[in-house]
Structure 1
Amino acid sequence: MTAADWTGPVAAILAMAAATYAVRFAGYWIMSRVPLTPFLRAALEALPGAIIVATVVPLAMRGGISAWIGVAVAAATMLAVRKDIAAMAAGMGAVMAARALGLP
């Protein structure tokens, strides 16, 4: 393997890392100058849940019945134990079990 084989991917990874840190720094810098009103605080507190829903629903729509079983099991686990990792593991396990049983 020559240096030319890996310089492109390494440069791309370093550029993405630099862009990620620049965006994170810019976000902190901008938000340090924005007054935190009650409305903005409520919007920021709702943001993680909105991101999860925006990520999970399209996947569940394309994933079939096994994906919906996984979402239901993950939601039930989250309600029961209030641990993100446990809910994710239970949901993934349910999807794997459903697909092992032949469900789409």
Structure 2
Amino acid sequence: MSELLALDMTALAAVIGMAVATYVTRAGGFWLMGHITLTPRIERFLRNMANGVLIAIITAAAMRGDVAMWIGLAAVLAVMLLFRRSMTAILIGMAIAAALRQLLV
């Protein structure tokens, strides 16, 4: 039991290093944005940046996706076109894909 609780110093150093890197990038982003004048162009970029990242992640996953994922993505697209609510669309698409995977397996 004591072997399970033993600390691996390399793993601990890696976790602490990742925590520091995460903090520095987030704090640095806030610091940097405090020194930038928000023009309409920068504001548009920041407003749409999250959507671009989300689309990139979904596209990468869809390239190796199964039938359930493609049907879930179609549902996301349909809900987005009808209601323009991204989180609702994502939740519905995920629920449909998960249900189909349970039914098809």
- TM-score, scaled to structure 2: 0.77
Out of 31, 40, 43, the residue aligned to residue 41 of structure 1 is 43
Could you tell me how far apart the structure 2 residues matched to 1:54 and 1:83 are?
A: 15
Give unmatched runs, 5+ long, in structure 2: none
CA, structure 1 residues 63+81, in 2 after alignment: closer, same or farther (shift >3 Å)?
Answer: same
Could you tell me how far apart the structure 1 residues matched to 2:78 and 2:10 are?
A: 45
Out of 89, 95, 98, the residue aligned to residue 97 of structure 2 is 95
Could you tell me how far apart the structure 2 residues matched to 1:73 and 1:6 are?
A: 45
Count of matched residue pairs:
102
Structure 1 segments, 4+ long, off by >3 Å, are 1-5, 74-83, 86-89
Is 1:82 matched with 2:85? yes
Tell me the percent identity.
Answer: 34
- TM-score, scaled to structure 1: 0.77
Give unmatched runs, 5+ long, in structure 1: none
RMSD: 2.5
Deviates more, 1:71-80 or 1:41-50: 71-80
